[in-house]
Amino acid sequence: MKPVCLVIGAGAGIGGNVGQRFAAAGYHACLCRRSDEEGLKRLVDGIEGEGGSASGFLLNAVAENAIEERVAAIEADIGPIEVAVYNLGAQIGDRALRDTSHRAFEMGWRLGTFGLFRLASAVCPLMTERGMGTLLVTSATAAVRGNKGQHSHAAAMGGRRLLCQSLNAEFGPKGIHVAHVLIDGAVDAPDTLGKLLGPQRFQQLRESRGMAHDGLMLPAKIAETYYHLAQQHRSTWTFEIDLRSFTDRPWWNH
Amino acid sequence: MKPVCLVIGAGAGIGGNVGQRFAAAGYHACLCRRSDEEGLKRLVDGIEGEGGSASGFLLNAVAENAIEERVAAIEADIGPIEVAVYNLGAQIGDRALRDTSHRAFEMGWRLGTFGLFRLASAVCPLMTERGMGTLLVTSATAAVRGNKGQHSHAAAMGGRRLLCQSLNAEFGPKGIHVAHVLIDGAVDAPDTLGKLLGPQRFQQLRESRGMAHDGLMLPAKIAETYYHLAQQHRSTWTFEIDLRSFTDRPWWNH
Amino acid sequence: MKPVCLVIGAGAGIGGNVGQRFAAAGYHACLCRRSDEEGLKRLVDGIEGEGGSASGFLLNAVAENAIEERVAAIEADIGPIEVAVYNLGAQIGDRALRDTSHRAFEMGWRLGTFGLFRLASAVCPLMTERGMGTLLVTSATAAVRGNKGQHSHAAAMGGRRLLCQSLNAEFGPKGIHVAHVLIDGAVDAPDTLGKLLGPQRFQQLRESRGMAHDGLMLPAKIAETYYHLAQQHRSTWTFEIDLRSFTDRPWWNH
Amino acid sequence: MKPVCLVIGAGAGIGGNVGQRFAAAGYHACLCRRSDEEGLKRLVDGIEGEGGSASGFLLNAVAENAIEERVAAIEADIGPIEVAVYNLGAQIGDRALRDTSHRAFEMGWRLGTFGLFRLASAVCPLMTERGMGTLLVTSATAAVRGNKGQHSHAAAMGGRRLLCQSLNAEFGPKGIHVAHVLIDGAVDAPDTLGKLLGPQRFQQLRESRGMAHDGLMLPAKIAETYYHLAQQHRSTWTFEIDLRSFTDRPWWNH
């Protein structure tokens, strides 16, 4: 039986590519996303076309019990989740405080912080019993600095980062590798950046900064680092790592 | 008319002492706390006994519209809020992940992060119109490190800190001073530490580490620094400051 | 006998104003600077004209034994140093790596890091014997981020900040208050910024960003915070504090 | 012609293992260490015995021109340095301030900060001409917190970290990958930890915490992460990564 790699938030960007990378290495990839059943099918078919194995699930992560039931079903029907990847974003673009509704702020927290808490609550006990497991958490610049207009996103990601630390403090010594992966730049991802910008501006950005310029982060390359993290020997685990294009200024530089 | 200093979370610790300090300097202190009407009255009477001016309000900060209505009523009935102090804690003691209910995690966020967002949403537009104002936010070690058992608290405080940064990014240039005050140690406060430990253990701690040892942070002394922050000239504002007893190890030292 | 406040690096900016502020509060200010005897005299005269007490010393901080002998002489001739302020900068402007000579890099370290080590080595044993004392260290943005062209400065200030932490770890519990003051913006100081820019550009900057705009940090206002830090009760000491104009972006924001 | 991986500080711990790892992947490893010609020969022989290619050089990194001349000679005689690893430590154990001589403090800087500046000054222009290159810098907990007794080490490593940031700011956009690798735990390395503890205590520690416990970081496993960093695509470079055993508390946890 193949070990399972569960990805919450598997679009055509980091999530889908991480699934592919683990599938290529012999994992069964369980890909979850909220919508776009067709895109999901394409991902699964792509993995199977390469000789890998995968399942796709539509999942509304903020719905009650959705994460919990999906975890339980995968463990019952497919196999033990060895690697869980929390890859849901909570970016809603820059909004002034007065344009940030209570609802938007709460939704940031539900996707950005609470969903990870729920995933961890569901998988960590199982991993603890098995004495091993990996929880890889995609994070963002907003986890380490709160910029103008980022009230909802920064609060959500700041909470996510500190939650990762407390999860690591409890579960690291039990053999569960928690890693907080700081994506500090724009990702060449049609399902997130592409939707934020619209197809035309996205294509322009790809031509001016991406492609041969390597100024947009290639999700397939990011996936290599996720895979490396999951393979680290437990005497040398990484908790936090940042990633950005060589053309980008790190978050701390002006 | 005296300028108003509003304190959300005004017990016998930091909140009450900050109210007292600003009242002594000529502010009208508006003290809000969830319960203990008698304690609240004692605080107000104490301030008035010293020749200061204060009002006390029972306030359940997580109740819908409670913060918003309190702010509106103070502005209508008492005067413009020049200084707002968000001093609600969200510490529930150390709890393993499996003992941290969804409800407890959410309550951490409501008190730790969302309440500040709501207070800021209520007062920042008013302060912006006046071109000035101060928002002082009490914070905790858990805002910068997630320790074992601190899932709810660390996520809440990590969110609080990053929210303060995004508030500062938007409102600093509009003349509103946002400061994140990192309380990195135990405070000699009967209403918080005292209740967490129980009266006997609290008294023992006061005798062994507090009192002449100065190993527990004196809230009246902390209040001096809050007052100093509110008096800083706008060409030299502090966003972040840490405070601890000289006997305590800072959070980064082992 | 007045307590002594020693300032290493006392020009017409932060250093001189800190000396003035402490002198106004009853300290004897010992002002040290490398050159400009006339400027030094003006500072001392200014303090004395206000009814304060001060002495001025020319001091080449990188010369062997210069700091050590000055400390010894002050303790012998004037009185116990209660507050020591290390205010030497090491900014040499932006320089590409190939334009940063070994000599410039080393000079950065001598002024930025080693001089503080030497001052601490000279005063901390004296303060330890007396069970009290304060060491206030002016620091810069470069202590927390290394920007392009800042090789010498960032290495020097990064070293300074971590040295402050280890000094605090050893001497805090002995009653010596060490504080690292992060000056995260341009200071309205003719002796540093003024010399870096030249008189004409400095005056232009003062008119466009400083003066009524309050976009340049006023050193007399910064001095208020230094003084506050030195007055903090030992149960509530600050180790790190940042300061900037309300118009300036904090170092972490883009 | 094989690309060259230069390691400054190649003992039987991280440095030697990194050399081996890159040699196994087809690099020519140039291993430099201060002393122990025999140990150096063993390393080179070991690599060659595995079919790899390597050269060993005795190098006193603090001697004038030693680094510069070694770099020039390798470029002339062996080939272009594609990867440079700065792996010199500056840990001298815990020492009170009064036991930290000026000489010890300066030596910390020479090994910890200045040597890296010199290596970068020597290799970055060559890499810039070639439009590519990698500079991997081993760092330590002391780069992010200054503990008691760590005056020399913390100042040196704090400077090292910020220097890495300024190097990255200048050379990242030129295609040179700078990475700061935070080794946040004890490494199972006879040449460093072994010498610090002495053979008997080192063996006891290996038995109680290392070996089957995986509580000491295995340098061969650390080397895997160094190699991964050097292989990252330039659209997804890491600047900072931490590593520790799963049994160890991260530096920020108490």
Distance of CA D241 to the CA centre of its chain: 14
B239 touches chain C (CB under 8 A): yes
| C-alpha distance from residue D156 to each of A173, B1, B62, B178, C157 (Å) | 31, 55, 48, 34, 11
In-domain check, residue B208: no
Percent of chain B topping pLDDT 70: 100
d(CA B20, CA B25): 9
Rounded average pLDDT over D16-24: 98
Q: DSSP H helical segments within chain B, as ranges?
A: 14-24, 37-49, 66-77, 102-109, 115-130, 151-171, 193-197, 199-208, 219-231
Burial class (CB in 10 A: 0-12, 13-18, 19+), A93: exposed
Domain residues for D88?
4-187+219-242
Q: What is the pLDDT of residue C254?
A: 83
Please report whether residue A192 resides in a domain. Answer: no
Q: What is the pLDDT of residues A137-166, one digit of tens each?
A: 999 999 999 999 999 999 999 999 999 999
Q: How far apart are CA C28 and CA C6, in angstroms?
A: 8
What would the mean pLDDT of A165-178 be, rounded to a whole number? 98
Residue D252 at interface with chain C, using a CB cutoff of 8 Å = no
CA distance C168 to chain B (A): 9
Interface check for A147 against chain C (CB to CB < 8 A): the answer is yes
Residues on chain C touching A251 (C-beta within 8 angstroms): 252, 254
Q: For residue A133, what are its two tokens?
A: 């497991």
CA distance A106 to B113: 10
Q: Which residue has the tokens 């507090």?
A: B210
Alpha carbons within 13 A on the beta-carbon side of D111: 21
Identify the closest residue of chain A to B64 by CA–CA distance: A102
Report percent pLDDT > 70 for chain D.
100
Contacts of C249 in chain A (CB under 8 A): 254
- Chain B CA closest to residue D150: B253
In angstroms, the separation between the Cα of residue A48 and the nearest Cα of chain B is: 36
Residue B198 belongs to a domain: no
Contact A243 D238 (CB under 8 A): yes
Q: Is residue B111 pLDDT above 90, yes or no?
A: yes
- Candidates C117, C147, C161; nearest CB to D169: C147
Return the structure tokens found at A20: 């592919």
Is D147 within 8 Å of C124 when comparing Cβ atoms? no
pTM: 0.98
CATH number of the domain at B33, please: 3.40.50.720
Phi, psi of B215 (to 5 degrees): -95, -10
- Among residues C156, C117, B224, B142, which one has the least CA distance to residue A159? B142
Residues of A in Cβ contact (< 8 Å) with D232: 221, 224-225, 243
Q: Does a structural domain hold residue D196? A: no
- Is the model's pLDDT at C73 over the cut of 90? yes
Q: Which two three-digit tokens encode residue A227? A: 């895979």
Which candidate in B64, B165, B171, B178 is best for mutational testing of the A interface (most A CBs within 10 A)?
B165
**Of the candidates A144, A251, A253, which has its C-beta nearest C147's C-beta?**
A253
Is residue D143 assigned to a domain? Answer: yes
Inter-chain CB proximity C113 and D149 less than 8 Å: no
How far is the alpha carbon of A14 from chain C, nearest alpha carbon, in Å? 24
Report the DSSP beta bridge partners of residue B84.
Answer: B6, B135
Task: Kindly report, residue by residue over B204-216, the tens digit of the pLDDT.
Answer: 999 999 999 999 9
pLDDT band at B191 (very low <50, low <70, confident <90, very high): confident
B246 touches chain D (CB under 8 A): no
For residue A1, name the pLDDT band (cuts at 50, 70, 90): confident
Residue A253 to residue C144, Cβ atoms within 8 A? no
**Segment (H or E) for D15:** helix D14-24
Of how many residues is chain B composed? 254
Q: Is residue C183 part of a domain?
A: yes
Q: Has residue B1 got a pLDDT over 90?
A: no
Residue A196 has a pLDDT of: 87
What is the least distance, in Å, from the CA of A69 to any CA of chain D? 29
CB-CB under 8 Å, D214 with A224: no
| B147 contact residues in D (CB cutoff 8 A) | 253-254
Q: CB neighbours of A187 closer than 8 A, spacing ≥ 6? A: A13, A14, A193, A216, A217, A219, A222
Half-sphere exposure of D221 (CA within 13 A, CB side): 22
DSSP bridge partners of A7: A31, A85
Please report whether residue D183 resides in a domain: yes
Number of domains in chain C: 1
Q: Is residue C145 part of a domain?
A: yes
Secondary structure of A17-77 as H, E, C letters? HHHHHHHHCCCEEEEEECCCHHHHHHHHHHHHHCCCEEEEEECCCCCCCHHHHHHHHHHHH
**Residue labelled with tokens 């030697």:** D16
- CA of residue D77 relative to chain centroid, distance: 23
Q: Closest Cα of chain B to C224: distance in Å?
A: 8
| A51 Cβ neighbours under 8 A, 6+ residues apart | none
Please tell me the distance from the alpha carbon of residue C251 to that of residue B109, in angstroms, as a whole number.
27
> Which residue in C86, C95, C166 has the most chain D C-beta atoms within 10 A of its own C-beta, making it the best mutation to test that interface?
C166
pLDDT at D168 over 90: yes
Phi, psi values for residue A183, rounded to 5°: -85, 100
End-to-end CA distance of chain B: 50
Interval A218-224 mean pLDDT = 98
Locate C201 and state its tokens.
Answer: 């550009």
